Amino acid sequence: MRGVLIASAACCTTLGGSPARADHIPGHENDDPTFPVPLPGPDFWNGDGAIMGLFIGPREGTEITGTTIDITWVQEGQWPASDLFIEVGVQVNNDTVHFELSGADLGFGDEPGTYHGELSTDMFNGIVWEYPGWPHSLIDLGIGGTHGAYEGPGHFEDSWIVFDVIPVPAPQAASVLGLASLLLRQRRAGHAGPPPRRAAAPA
């Protein structure tokens, strides 16, 4: 994995000891045509070093028809935002497909400030499969610098990987312990939510 040196977050780690519904963040429903995966906020990673984590992905059998990576990055130090590196891995079509992008790919500059970039890809299009023993797929997410660890500080604000999906029905009482509990608490703390342009249509 280019640029990610330190594994510091694992899906099976219970943060706060509370179970979390695997398929939902607040505002997301089973039949929504999008599946949003939030990137970690500054209380989890503040642009110092590199991290690698596993996040809850769409349910097995879901079809991904497109993906948008929507990033807002606040660069607080002198390390260039263009060197930010993100790698995403998705369990689709009986394989794990990886996609890499940098701040430069998103048009980020070298000076401190707030940068926003958006990139769409069809690399993850296909049918989702689940990791054995889990009710959902797992999204691999690595964040660091293009030359190794990132030497921030900096942080994400309301940044998302948004999958366009054809959903499948949810089984009853699907729940897991993991990093999703942190993300739920972040959302309840007042994050704005996925980009409004991708909001689900009313039922």
The enclosing domain of 122 has a CATH number of 2.60.120.260
The total number of structural domains that make up the chain: 1
Report the sign of the C-alpha dihedral through residues 162, 185, 43, 97, in that order: negative
* 182: in domain: yes
Place of tokens 């691999």: 140
Range of the domain at 158: 20-198
* 106: in domain: yes
* 7: in domain: no
* 27: in domain: yes
* 13: in domain: no
The pLDDT of residue 195: 52
CA distances from residue 145 to 43, 101, 183 in whole angstroms, order as listed: 19, 11, 23
> pLDDT per residue over 99-126, tens digit each?
999 999 999 999 999 999 999 999 999 9
> pLDDT per residue over 86-100, tens digit each?
999 999 999 999 999
Place of tokens 């998302």: 160
171 pLDDT band (50/70/90 cuts)?
A: low
The pLDDT of residue 26: 72
* 193: in domain: yes
Q: In this structure, what token pair is assigned to residue 188?
A: 């309840």
The pLDDT of residue 48: 86
Average pLDDT of the residues in 157-163: 96
Question: Which region among 3-17, 30-44, 125-139 has the lowest average model confidence (pLDDT)?
Answer: 3-17
Average pLDDT of the residues in 41-70: 92
